[in-house]
């Protein structure tokens, strides 16, 4: 099973958003937990209510800012893709093997061995394979149109690397 692909601008944006999802969700969850704690403290100690309301308002503004930033980040991601897109525009051959996933590009060949992979995650557009927490390979699911069996790759990742990372 072998096919050739390149990462489009849309695939890049979907991959970065999927990667951000885990980081931003944790931050928003912590901010919501702090907001809940402030609410409880304001009920228990009414004399500090105005100060706590001010702090809660600032935390709410931070959550709103993070949400707007994520939603409006497409333009910045498109700019980043255009700056670093030389790597992504190059054709990459992918082949599923017993020992891992082989990626071949003009500057070399990489074998992503199952035992060396840190984690993986996916959405309906892309599959991300992490070598460590900060290095990821983007595999667009649109390669299924050219004959590559993406479901076999996902099953192999589940079997040999572990379940999909939700964080």
Return per-residue pLDDT of the chain as tens, 167 residues: 788 888 888 888 888 877 776 666 677 777 778 878 877 777 787 777 787 778 888 888 887 887 777 766 766 777 766 777 666 678 889 999 999 999 998 888 989 999 999 999 998 999 999 988 888 888 999 999 988 999 999 999 999 998 888 76
The H or E element spanning position 122 is strand 119-122
pTM of the predicted model, to two decimals? 0.69
Phi and psi angles of residue 110, each rounded to the nearest 5 degrees, phi first: -125, 135
Please give the C-alpha separations between residue 8 and each of 76, 80, 96, 99, 141, in angstroms, as whole numbers. Answer: 15, 13, 21, 27, 11
From CA 122, how far away is CA 103, in angstroms rounded?
18
């Amino acid at each position: 099973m072998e096919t050739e692909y390149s990462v489009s601008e849309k695939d890049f944006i979907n991959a970065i958003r999927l990667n951000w999802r885990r980081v931003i969700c944790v931050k928003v969850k912590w901010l919501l937990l702090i907001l809940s704690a402030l609410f409880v403290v304001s009920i228990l100690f009414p004399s500090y209510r105005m100060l706590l309301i001010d702090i809660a308002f600032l935390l709410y503004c931070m959550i709103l800012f993070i949400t707007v930033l994520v939603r409006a980040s497409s333009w910045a991601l498109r700019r980043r893709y255009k700056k670093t897109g030389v790597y992504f525009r190059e054709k990459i051959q992918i082949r599923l093997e017993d020992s891992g996933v082989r990626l071949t590009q003009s500057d070399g060949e990489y074998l992503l061995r199952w035992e060396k992979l840190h984690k993986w995650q996916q959405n309906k557009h892309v599959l991300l394979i992490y070598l460590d927490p900060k290095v990821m390979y983007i595999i667009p699911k649109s390669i299924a149109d050219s004959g590559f069996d993406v479901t076999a790759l996902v099953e192999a990742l589940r079997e040999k690397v572990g379940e999909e990372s939700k964080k």
